[in-house]
Each structure stands twice: as structure tokens, then as C-alpha cells.
Structure 1
Amino acid sequence: MKTNNGVIAPSKQWINFFGNIQIKPRGICKPYVSSTSGSIYFRETVSQYQELIANAAREDRKIRAYGGSWSLSESAVCNDYMVNTIETNNINVGLSADDSVAKHPDQLVLTQCGARIRDLHDRLGNKGLALPTTGASEGQTIAGAVSTGTHGSAFNVGAMSDYVVAIHLLTASGSVWLERANDPISTQKLRDELGVSQFLQDDELFAAALVSFGSFGIIHAFVLRCVPQYKLRVFAADWKYEDLEANIMKPDFPNLKQKLKLASDLGELFHFEVIVNPYTQHAYLRYMDKVPHDTDPRSPGPDKWSMTGLLSALNVLSDGVHGLPQRELGRVIGKNIRDMLPLDQRSFVDLPQNIFGPTKKRIDMDRAVVDGYSTEIGLHPSDLGRFFHIAFDVAKKTSFNGAYALRYVKQTRATLGWTLFEPVTAVIETPMTATQGAKDALRELWRRLRESKIPHTFHWGQCLPVRPIAAEDARLGDAELAAARNQVLAQYQHTGRLARWKAARKKLLPDESARRMFSNKLTEALDLGVYE
């Protein structure tokens, strides 16, 4: 395929950041970045992406955008054309009254798809603003994080998709601007500067497009509603899981300070998480309150708790784990978790990006220090006891380097947002170094959850039971493969969300050829790609 941006040559093998997905697409393109700025820059970028989409349409090929390559699922890849968005990263902090009809336009941010979360934090901080919440790592791009349902643990905030207020989508039929009918954002002037050809104020369509993992078109930009800058004060404590279970199954956040005897000087609880050693069943609390942004920082440094930080700490166990007695495995995992938490000090204070994010040097690397796996499961808090009973039993039967990390997220408004339980979703992440034991543990955990009938969902950007590109599906019989597909979609089917999402996508992309273009093997395996 030739475009004015150059020639997209046959690509070499593409590998994601954590090393669990490899694919050789027909070609990879990184759009040319102009030296111009402002509206001219945006229009030039939009024109380049539209040309790539038009060429893919002429060839009847699929096209998929990717950014930081941090997704552990196959949502961002396809066998045809993949577009690297990492340099499509312009960030405009604060809209003017000429650009937005919203209240407080100075707290709105227009960001292109390839801006990394870390860069957003830095740019916002320079203007006295912050993201309302963020994931546990910050190497993702904003489009990848939002589109897969990435979240934090600010239990009153929701996932990252819940502070998106406008979406700029590029499809085969044009340049589409989406916002809610009940929350108008843009002016005609802003839309003209972006070359918008179709303006839609549609609550149902907007909610469906938020978490759509590339299925509605290529996302060019978002408008985010941000908040005044703040810092977080971090506390930590260690417990036995069994002593916590009743409180985590019925989280009474306003009264947890008293019930769990948390730090006496803790203010209003903002963030609450529990990290569980699967082999010792020891639990480590990390909880936070907000403090003014001018509070003097007292930080132990980066990588104190992020997926990349934990995987790096556990790297010492990457070889020979199968031969390590489980008691010793539990001891070493526990030591590495304790080293990452401020258990030896009263508290520390820092900006969110310095608490959750890995170092900038690590973010800028093409690959993680150590390859890893992780699945992330959402369920109602009342089912946590049953979940951990299964999870501890899986640990007894397998050997892996990792932990279970529990957080809580307010119910999302995104149609296929996986944090859908009311009023909050309990989310359990399972970061592990990439060993055969970790693969075995994930398969066993997924199987046991299917059999348990516990209602649950999966993070769209982490390892899923359905993995067509990795050829893992070939290991399953037809019945087990059908069960795995149903496992991923069951809660969306039962709540009517799946039907609403598919109808909204068909409304935006009425032609079957357009839906095929923005599908891939994963979405087709889940019947989210091309359908009647």
C-alpha cells in the first residue's frame, strides 16, 4: 500500500511490550508528524489517517491502531495494516470559550490518541490540573487505556473512560465528532479546525464508543474533563487475608478507617487496594487520601507499585520456579511486595504519576524489563470470598511468580466497560512473570471461574480466555472454546449491554465492509466484528 506518507513495507515480527503477543502484519505505518502546530497540525494528521483508512478500504483490508503496545490482549493487532500512533501525541490543555460551550472549559483537555498517560500528567501538572484517576502503570497511550477500560482505585471516580466527554473518530465514511446530547462540549469552530464531517450528539452511541477497542474506527482524539491538581498521601499495612475478608466483601469506605484501624491521621479515604500473596495468604493494604498539591513531597521513589515494578522485582524468580518449594516461593514474593510498600515508614506524599507510574526511562523502552502475563477480573464485592477460595486453590496446584491485587472502581457508564457492577466493581489483577507455571495458573483460574458461575468480567486490555492469534484457542475443544467465549461476554449479554453496543456500532458503521475493516481475529471470535 502506497500513500503520500510513504510506502508501508511488509513488516517484521511485531511484539507487544510484555512479550506475550507476536504477529507479522502485512504492514505497519507510523504517520508523518508535521512541524506545524495548532489547527493546521490537527488537520494534517487527520488527513494522513483518513488516507490510510481509504487505502485499506480500497484493498478490502483490515486496519488497526496501536500506541504503547502495553495491551496483553489481542485487541490492538490484526494481520493486515497496523498504524503506530505513538507520535500522534499533541496535547492542548484548557479549551477557550471559542472552542467549547461547556462550563469550565479551562479544565477540558484535547489530546490526540498517541499521548502517553505519563505525558498527560506532566502537561496537566504544568497548568495546575490532573487526571481524576489513572491506571497502575503509565506507559499506555490515552486511546489504548480508555478503549480497553483501564481504571484506577479511586472508588468514587470510575474508569478512565468516565471522564472522556468527546471523541473524534475516523472511519471510512469521514471524520466523526461524538459527544453526549446531555453534556454538549464543542463549538462549530473547534470541529471545523479538526475537519469534522459528521457531528453526533448521541448518548447511546457515545457510551458504546468509549470502550470499543478499535472497533468503531481509529480514534484521533479525546476531550477529557480534568480536575485541579492534587497529591496523594500513601499509607500501608500488613494483614492476614482471612482477617480482612468480611470488610472487603462489604466495603464500607466511609467507616473503613475505624473498622480496620487505619492511620489515625488519615483524611477522607480516596484509594484503597489489597495486595495478596497467593502462597502465604498474607495481605498488604495500600490506601491513600488526597492532600493539597503544594504539600511537600516525601516519596520513596518510582516503581513502588505498578505492574512493571512488580514484574521487575520478581524477575529473580523467572527461571527455575517450578522447582522452588511453595513455602520458599511465598517467602520471596512476600519480601518483594514488602520492599515495594512503605511499611517501614508512617506515610509518604507525592503526585499520582510518581506513585503509580514506572520511570520515564522504562516507559520509553520498546519492551518490558521482564516478560509478563496478567488477567484482570471484575466481580461484585460480595463474591470476593468465593473468588479468593478458588484463587488460593489454584496457587496450591501451580507455581507462578506473582500476586493478586484487589481494587475497587465505581460502576462505569461505558456500554462494554467491564467495571459494570453496581455500585462498585471489585477488580483483581494477577501480574505474573512469563513462565509456563503462570500460563497454567491462568488457564486453571479461568476454568474454575467458569465452573463456579460467579458473575464476572475481564479487562479488555489484559489476557483473555479467548486468544486466537496466539493459537491458544486451538488447544481447546469446541465445547470449551464456546464456553470461554461465553465467559467473556456473559455479563454483557445478561444486562442487554452487548445488544446495545452492537446496535450502536451498526448505526455508526452500517456497511458490513466498514465493520469488517475495523475488526480483527479477537473481535470476530467474540462475534463483535462482522455481524448482521
Structure 2
Amino acid sequence: MPFRFTQEDALTAWSNFHHTIHQRPIAHYLTPDGLSDTASLATPAPRRQAAALDDILTFCLRALPPKRLVTVGGTWSMSDVLDPLEVVLDPRAFHQVATVEPSMLTPAYRASAAPRGGVPVLVQGGTKMRDLNEVLGKAGLALQTSGANDGHRLAGCIATGTHGSALGIGAVHDTVLAVVLVTAPGQAVLLQPSQASFTPALAAWVQASTGLAVKDDPDDVRFAAAQVALGALGFVHSVVVEAVPLYELVGTVVPLAQTDPRLWAVAGRLDTSGLDARPTPYHVGVLVNPYATPSRPTGAFVTLLWKQAPTRPFAGPSAASAMVATDTSKLLSALVPVAGTLLPPPVMELILSSIIDGQYATSAVGPLFPGQAFGPTTLAPGNGRSTEVVFDLAHGVRGLTAIVEALRAQARQGRYLLGILGVRFGPKSKALLGMARAPMNMYVEVPSLGTVHTSAIQQACWQALRDAGIPFTCHWGQEHALTAAGVTAAYGADAARWVAARRALLPTAAQQQVFGSPMLTRLGLD
């Protein structure tokens, strides 16, 4: 069928950024038209987007059986949350940005937001984080937190619970005030908590701007489900995030040996006093080289960043180039497993440690605007692999030690991680399926160039945590160890509430199939 205001392509070989999904044929790759290539702080979503969505959803819902619709973001997800079948929607045209009129704010929200200078901004789900940072920065605003890089689209960033960068904030989805979901042709719902931030005027404004019939739905459970929706509650048309006045980040990177007690004071209780006398930082991150000898002075790099008022006019990030080109990374991926069987572990570990030392600088940081601190990725496409585990900071020392020891045990068998552990911290998530379940959490990302050993290395890390008796969750968008039983154990009643919210938002079997996925079925979330 013809799709209004939409380019339709039949692709013979589609791959995601990291090629964990590789060369898939896509019968219907659908790209709704845009009015421009850049985001704007003033223009509401054009009505023709509603017409395009109507046709796409009608096509999927009326098919026998209904066709699954996958909306792609930055295509960074490595798990099968992104696994496409026949129909893919590319949301790049959904990139409009608009501040919410003050008259639409409830008195309760005004009072709560005033101390932090909160400014609600409605952002369409296809907006890239780097574009959003640029638009907000030019308006004197900023996101409160962000992921490690800015290549996500907003809807994809929150859909998989991507980690944040601020100790007191959590992840991007924890700064969301409302979500607009399109669940059927011409039908949308504006979800927000029962203690609403917005009057029904916001839903009416979205309806008038888009031509969609928008229901205002202040409900705590459905909103918390939509904060991390896994792409399974409907098409994320728009998200209202709370921005704050523009700020800079300034700090330092401190190298430490892995025997230094100051490293474990950070890993165990977020005690940074041994590294810097200033109060608790806004952001703390740790990079850990699993192959450093205990006394190597660069066994870990601790980044401490504090928030301050701007000292200069806003500027966006510089362009980044890949740290290792795609062809080179694939060559390394092939050579390292061979070298690991030929060279003694101390030699391999010295080589890898020398490479890591050359990539990570020790210096003062900033001042940087948030979009500069967490800017473009330096990864080349096509060869990345990663898993990220999250557990209670109370288990921080044991958990991080277990992972490092697992990686060293794998190295003794000639299996090497071609990467460095990234450790971050954040409070309990407000989302039903948010990864951060404890009052304060440690995130450990285990990234690598892909090799024949990567899967075994990931399995060893997960098993090490199990053997240590440490409960953990995994990043929904990365390679993970999740099972239906594991989801039930980790999320408990919240998983059941999420499923109930999904069925309330998508009441027909056809809707549930259109917005379903193999991962949902496998994990008992359908």
C-alpha cells in the first residue's frame, strides 16, 4: 500500500551500528518525511506526521497476522530488543523541540521545579541527543544527565534505560515528566504521574499541533512503565524532559593503582575525599584496566566532575573520529585470539596495558558543557560488543573484584577483552524496568571489540557475580544474561505491573503483536 508522506525502501542488507544484527533484509523500511533537517525550539510537530503514522499502523494492524513494527533509534542497541522483521520505521523526521507553555504547568510542579530551575521541554522521540544538547544549549538550557555518548535518539535512549551521568539524578528517563505514545491510528495518550506536572491543556496542545486524538492519562503505573518501555508500549511520539539552566562540568582524572585504598573507597561507598577535598562531585566515573599488574600506577582512572555556572558562551562538542578504524578493529579482533594462545599472559597483559595507557589521559577536565563531556562516540561501526551489569553499591567492592578476577581467569586461558571496564554510579530508578534497583547502584560496562572469545568472556563475568551471590540486572539494549526467571527475580511485582500497563495501553492482540518482540516473549513480558 502507498504510505502518505513516507519514503518506502526495500533493503536487502540492514545492520545495526555494531553489527550484532547483520545484513538483514527489510521488506518495508519506512521513513516519514521531515520539514527540515534540524531541530527547532519553536515548531510543533507537523500534522502530516500523524497521517504517515496512520498509514503505517493501519498496514501493520490489518495484516494477517499483524506485522511487527520496529522503530529504530541510533541503532546502537546490541540485544534483540532491536531485532527487526519486515517493517522498520525510521523516526529521523520526528525531531521537533518546543518548550512547554508556563500556563500548562500545574501549581504543584511549579513549586517543586523552582529550586532547581526546571524547564519542561517537549522533544520528539526521533531527536538525536547531540541535536537536543545543541538546541537546549543555545537556549541557555541543558539536560540534567546523559549517557556516555550523544548518538542515541531520545526515544531509544530512554527505551532501554541507558545509564546516566549524575550521582543525584539517575538516568535520562528519570528526568522525564511525560510521554506521548501513539498506540493506534489517530490515537495517542499523554502519560504522566498522578501528581501531574501538566494540566490537560498540554494534551490539548499536542492534539491541536499534530491532529492526533490525545488522551491525558495521569497514572503512576502506566507512566513508570513508559519511562523504560523497550519499544513495546506504542510509538514514542514525544517526551517531555525537564531541562535546567545551562551549566559546565569541571574536574580531574586521577590515575590509581588497583592496590590503592582510595580506589576501593570510591567503589565501595563513593568516598572521593581521598582524591579531592571538594564536596561530593556531580559525576563520578571509573575506568578499570583488568590486565594491569596490582602495582601499575595506571590500573584505574577515576574521573570526578563538579557542576558550575557557565564561564563562557555555549559551544557544542567537536567532531570525534574513531579511536580504531573499522578495518583495523576487525584485524585486531582476528589477531588477538591467536596472539593470546602464543604469548605468555604477562606479555599480552603488558601489551594491552600499554595500549590502554596511551588512550586515556590524566589531566584536569573542563570546563565542558554537558554535550562536550558526553559527546560523540569514538567507536568505529561494525565491531563493538558489550554487556553492562548493575548491582547494589553495597556489593561494589566484591562485584567489581569478581568481574576483574573473572577477566584475569579468562586471560589465563588466552581469552582477552579488547576494552576497559567502565564504572558509573546512580540512584534507584523511578521506572518499573529501570536497571538501578537499589538506593545507590554501581554500573559496570564490559565493552570490547568483537572476537571469537567475547561471548565466553561475558558469560564468565555474569557467572562470577552469580557465584559471589550478588544479584544484578543488565542493560536492556546490550548483550545480557536475562531470562524470564531472572527478570521475575530482579524486578518482582514491577515486572507484573509493567505487563499490566502494556495490556492496558495496547488492549488488542493485534496491537500487542505490532509492538511486540522476541525478547519480550522470551522474558515473559508480553
Tell me the TM-score range normalised by the shorter chain: 0.7 to 0.9
Match of 2:462 among 439, 446, 450: 446
Equivalent residue for 1:184, pick from 179, 197, 202: 197
Shift of the alpha carbon at 1:336? 4.2
The reply to whether residue 407 of structure 1 matches residue 414 of structure 2 is: no
1:504 matched to 2:501? The reply is yes
Q: Name the CA distance, whole Å, in 1 between partners of 2:467 and 2:279.
A: 42
The answer as to 2:153 corresponding to 1:141 is yes
**Which residue pairs with 2:268 in the alignment?**
250
| Corresponding residue for residue 53 of structure 2 | 49
The one-letter code sitting in structure 1 at the alignment partner of 2:368 is D
Question: Structure 2 regions of 5+ residues with no counterpart?
Answer: none
Instruction: Give, in whole Å, the separation in 1 of the partners of 2:328 and 2:485.
Output: 33
Distance apart, 1:303 and its partner CA: 5.7
Amino acid at match of 1:179: Q
- Alignment match of 2:62 (pick from 58, 67, 75): 58
TM-score w.r.t. structure 2 length? Answer: 0.85
Residue in structure 1 matched with residue 275 of structure 2 by the alignment: 261
**Are 2:478 and 1:462 aligned?**
yes
What is the percent sequence identity of the aligned residues? 25
Deviates more, 1:120-129 or 1:7-16: 7-16
Aligned pair in 2 of structure 1 residues 331, 506: CA closer, same or farther (>3 Å)?
same
Q: Is the 8 A contact 1:299 1:350 kept in 2?
A: no
Is 1:199 the counterpart of 2:216 in the alignment? yes
Residue 298 of structure 1 contacts residue 348 of structure 1 at CA under 8 Å; is this kept in 2? no
Give me the whole-angstrom Cα distance separating, in 2, the residues matched to 1:123 and 1:269.
26
Q: Which stretch shifts more, 429-438 or 120-129?
A: 429-438
CA apart distance, 1:232: 0.7
Q: Secondary structure at the match of 1:375?
A: strand
Name the CA distance, whole Å, in 2 between partners of 1:151 and 1:283.
20
**In structure 1, what is the Cα distance between the partners aligned to 2:315 and 2:44?**
43
Kept after mapping to 1: 8 A contact 2:317/2:376: no
Task: Give yes or no for contact 2:326–2:383 (8 Å, CA) kept in 1.
Answer: no
- Aligned pair in 2 of structure 1 residues 452, 310: CA closer, same or farther (>3 Å)? farther
The 1:499/1:327 distance shift into structure 2, 3 A limit, reads: same
AA aligned to 1:526 is L
**1:215 matched residue in structure 2:** 232
Q: Partner residue of 1:474? A: none
Secondary structure in structure 2 of the residue aligned to 1:462: coil
91, 94, 114: which is aligned to 2:126?
Answer: 114
Q: Is the 8 A contact 1:96 1:106 kept in 2?
A: no
Gaps of 5+ in 1: 467-483
Cα distance in 1, alignment partners of residues 325 and 260 from structure 2: 27
The match for 1:14 is: 14
Q: What is the deviation of 1:198? A: 1.9
- Offset of 1:76 from its aligned partner? 2.3
Q: How does 1:328-339 map to 2 (within 5 A)?
A: 328-339=347-358
CA, structure 1 residues 332+298, in 2 after alignment: closer, same or farther (shift >3 Å)? farther
State the Cα distance separating 1:453 from its structure 2 match: 3.5
Superposition RMSD on alpha carbons, in Å?
3.0
2:76 to 70, 75, 78: 70
Q: Give how far 1:295 is off.
A: 5.0
Cα 1:489–1:14 change in 2 (3 A) is farther
Please say which of residues 367-376 and 501-510 is displaced more in the overlay: 367-376
Partner of 1:477: none
The structural deviation recorded for 1:314 is 9.3
Aligned position for 1:527 = 524
1:389 aligns with 2:401: yes
Q: Which of 413, 429, 444 does residue 445 from structure 2 map onto?
A: 429
Paired residues of 1:147 and 1:211 also in contact (CA < 8 A):
yes
**Higher deviation after alignment, 287-296 or 499-508:** 287-296
Letter matched to residue 52 of structure 2: Q
Please tell me the residue identity of whatever aligns with 1:2: P
Give the 3 Å change call, closer, same or farther, for CA 298–91 of structure 1 in structure 2: closer
Structure 1 pair 394/429, CA: closer, same or farther in 2 (3 Å)? same
Tell me if the contact between 1:232 and 1:288 (Cα under 8 Å) persists in the aligned partners: yes
